[in-house]
Amino acid sequence: MPNPPSPLAAGVSPDGFQNVHEVRILICDLLDTLQEPVSKSDLALLFQENNLVNFFTLSTALAQLLQEGQLSAVPELEETYQLNPLGREAAHFLAHTLPRSVREHLAQSAKQLLARRKLERENEVAIKEVLNGYQVQVVMHDTDMDLLRLDLFVPDKAQAEAVQEKVLQDPAAFYTQIIDFLTK
């Protein structure tokens, strides 16, 4: 009778990673590729969406990387990490030990997630339940001013979420279409 899977393997595909050492290399390689800090929650989301690493193994790997000085916490951002020179060196020397396809796919997923996070920071789209429906509040920020502030009423949550997603898919097109509609 085969052994039952380890609880630490839960949510991890057969080609995923359970070895903390490999996960450490994967984190270093990813942060080296991105060249910017990433939050623990975003790392967890990336690894879990791609069924590569479970949260417990990720947490252990991050703690070890921090303790050994390969990562450091970004002081002004909660649970956000940046790669130190020691971690960059590890990425350069050891990344080849992990499958290139996995590293490239994870890096692409991370770039998409970080682009989405940037859009969300620059373009707030909040949903608020109100009497008889939902209010979608859209605020588009520029460096020193708000370009747009708009409140829309929609009758149900599904429509509110659809509006939110549509705005965040292409905020520039949304803004341009409003300006075109109002000026033509």
Domain count, the chain: 2
Residue 152 falls inside a structural domain:
yes
Residue range(s) defining the domain that contains residue 21: 7-98
What is the rounded CA–CA span in Å between residue 14 and residue 151? 46
Residue 2 falls inside a structural domain:
no
Both 126 and 72 in one domain: the answer is: no
Residue 37 falls inside a structural domain:
yes
What's this model's pTM, rounded to 2 decimal places? 0.69
What is the rounded CA–CA span in Å between residue 64 and residue 18? 15
Distances (CA, A) of 40 to 55, 56, 77, 127, 144: 10, 12, 11, 25, 29
pLDDT at residue number 16: 63
Instruction: Encode burial over 117-147: b for 16+ CB neighbours within 10 A, e otherwise.
Output: eebeeebebeeeeeeeebebebebeeeeeee
Both 49 and 15 in one domain: the answer is: yes
Both 18 and 58 in one domain: the answer is: yes
Please say which residue of 52, 83, 98 terminates a domain. 98
Is residue 138 a contact partner of residue 124, using CB atoms and an 8 Å limit?
A: yes
Domain of 17, CATH number, reads 1.10.10.10
Both 137 and 179 in one domain: the answer is: yes
Please say which residue of 59, 82, 98 terminates a domain. 98
Please say which residue of 98, 130, 153 terminates a domain. 98
What is the rounded CA–CA span in Å between residue 75 and residue 183? 45
What is the rounded CA–CA span in Å between residue 49 and residue 42? 10
Both 67 and 132 in one domain: the answer is: no
What is the rounded CA–CA span in Å between residue 28 and residue 92? 9
* Secondary structure (3-state) at 71: strand
Residue 109 falls inside a structural domain:
no
pLDDT at residue number 9: 47
Both 46 and 94 in one domain: the answer is: yes
Per-residue pLDDT of the chain in tens (184 residues, 90 and over written 9):
444 444 444 554 545 677 899 999 999 999 999 999 999 999 999 999 888 898 999 999 999 999 999 999 999 888 999 999 999 999 988 888 888 888 899 999 999 998 888 887 888 999 999 999 999 999 998 878 889 999 999 999 999 999 999 998 889 899 999 999 999 8
